[in-house]
Amino acid sequence: MSHHYQSVLESIHAEVLPLQSDGAVANYIPELAKVNANTFGMHLRTIEGLDYSVGSSNELFSIQSISKVFALALVVSIVGEKIFKRVGVEPSGSSFNSLVQLEYEKGIPRNPLINAGAMVVCDALIDQLDKPKKDFLGFVRRLAQNKKIGYNERVAASEKEYGFRNAALANFLKSFGNIRHDVDEVLDLYFHICSVEMSCKDLANAFVLFANHGKFPSTNEVLLTKSQTKRLNAVMQTCGFYDEAGEFSFTVGLPGKSGVGGGIVALHPHRYAVAAWSPRLNAKGNSVMGMKALELLTTKLGSSIF
Ligand code: GLU
């Protein structure tokens, strides 16, 4: 099997290269636009701890919305399912930063993977953590087993500077009473968690826990119960890809999450976690090469969760 994974990744790399100049880098956060647009990397880690990679799999990039999964996992590991009283689990069918839906639904965000939902999760983390930014980073480092993972302060500042819509969402949530802390404090944590930088290798390492029933594969230590892991994976499956969650299920068939930095991470329960990164995005905000790479992966391996 080991040779198999490596040769599959190599053939995927060759097949996605012609897409290198398709799509556009996100520029609504100016700091993100500074990336080298034509990069591609991919890393797969099995739950047994075997690693396979191609391209720029060790290069750091802005994980952006992928962080929302870490925030959700952390809050669920502390307060359990009661977080779902403040945030739903339905796909939004609207853009990730929609204000309209939040008004109709009286301040209860559709799911924890859209911006408003992640802000509610950040608010709950501020309740629970002594030093929210430091503790969140510690959690991500522990999941990825890499103490060097950090925030990119320039990206966080750039998001804050241009974060008019996110500020509107946070204030809106506060007006409905679904944010308890100071709006600026919640936004500061939110912008920081989006600014975390990781490589494909770090992401695959971190997400392998979700493929392993919520246990750290190396020690079998339990972070999340089986049922909590099921819920997280289900939310990723139905809500993890902006307005393309259906398309991702249809073409790839794995739970996962994407971010506007061009990263995509997905997992096959009981088998592996895989991350792909390429900064150019399609019209829905997902990495063009990343989407194709993961579609090719499950097609070539002949297995998805369906
Ligand atoms: N920090 C970004 C924002 O709030 C996250 C976008 C994303 O990756 O979906 O706009």
Structure tokens at 103: 């008004």
Helix, coil or strand: residue 256: strand
Check: CB of residue 251 under 8 Å from CB of residue 299: no
First to last CA, the chain: 21
> Can you say how many angstroms the Cα of residue 74 is from the centroid of all Cα atoms in its chain?
13
How is residue 275 annotated by DSSP?
E
Determine whether the shortest distance from the Cβ of 272 to ligand 1 is under 6 A.
Answer: no
Helix, coil or strand: residue 74: helix
CATH of 2-64+197-301, one of 3.30.930.10, 3.30.70.330, 3.40.710.10, 3.30.1360.70: 3.40.710.10
> In DSSP terms, which residues pair with 43 in a beta bridge?
53, 275
Atom of ligand 1 nearest to the CA of 96: 9
Structure tokens at 155: 């990206």
To test the pocket of ligand 1, the residue of 115, 154, 188 to mutate (highest count of ligand atoms within 8 Å of its CB) is 115
CATH architecture assignment, domain 66-195 = 3-Layer(aba) Sandwich (3.40)
Check: CB of residue 278 under 8 Å from CB of residue 288: yes
The domain locations on the chain are 2-64+197-301, 66-195
Nearest residue to 74 (alpha-carbon basis) of 10, 2, 136: 136
By annotation, the residues acting in catalysis are 65, 68, 190, 242, 260
Q: Which residue has the tokens 């590991």?
A: 77
Distance 260 CA to ligand 1 centre (A): 6
Nearest residue to 47 (alpha-carbon basis) of 268, 277, 252: 268
What pTM did the predictor assign?
0.97
Q: Residues, the chain, total?
A: 306
* Domain pair 2-64+197-301 / 66-195, same fold: yes
Please tell me the distance from the alpha carbon of residue 110 to that of residue 61, in angstroms, as a whole number.
28
Distance 114 CA to ligand 1 centre (A): 9
Helix, coil or strand: residue 26: coil
To test the pocket of ligand 1, the residue of 69, 155, 158, 159 to mutate (highest count of ligand atoms within 8 Å of its CB) is 159
Please tell me the distance from the alpha carbon of residue 37 to that of residue 35, in angstroms, as a whole number.
6
Check: CB of residue 144 under 8 Å from CB of residue 196: no
Distance 263 CA to ligand 1 centre (A): 12
Angle value at C-alpha 76, between 130 and 294, nearest 5 degrees: 115
The whole-number pLDDT of residue 95 equals 75
Q: Which residue has the tokens 């993972």?
A: 149
Task: Going residue by residue through the chain, which has 306 residues, state the pLDDT in tens, using 9 for 90 and above.
Answer: 555 999 999 999 999 999 999 999 998 889 999 999 999 999 999 999 999 999 999 999 999 999 999 999 999 999 999 999 999 999 987 777 888 989 988 999 999 999 999 999 999 999 999 999 999 999 999 999 999 999 999 999 999 999 999 999 999 999 999 999 999 999 999 999 999 999 999 999 999 999 999 999 989 999 999 999 999 999 999 999 988 999 999 999 999 999 999 999 999 999 999 999 999 999 999 999 999 999 999 999 999 999
Determine whether the shortest distance from the Cβ of 189 to ligand 1 is under 6 A.
Answer: no
Please tell me the distance from the alpha carbon of residue 204 to that of residue 70, in angstroms, as a whole number.
13
The whole-number pLDDT of residue 270 equals 95
Please tell me the distance from the alpha carbon of residue 187 to that of residue 183, in angstroms, as a whole number.
6
Residue 204's H or E segment, with its range, is: helix 200-211
Structure tokens at 66: 């992928």
The whole-number pLDDT of residue 28 equals 87
Check: CB of residue 132 under 8 Å from CB of residue 187: no
Distance 136 CA to ligand 1 centre (A): 17
Q: What CA–CA distances, in Å, run from 55 to 40, 44, 51, 144, 246?
A: 6, 12, 14, 20, 28
Phi, psi dihedral angles at 52 (to 5 degrees): -140, 140
Determine whether the shortest distance from the Cβ of 237 to ligand 1 is under 6 A.
Answer: no
Q: What CA–CA distances, in Å, run from 49 to 205, 234, 271, 273?
A: 8, 24, 10, 10
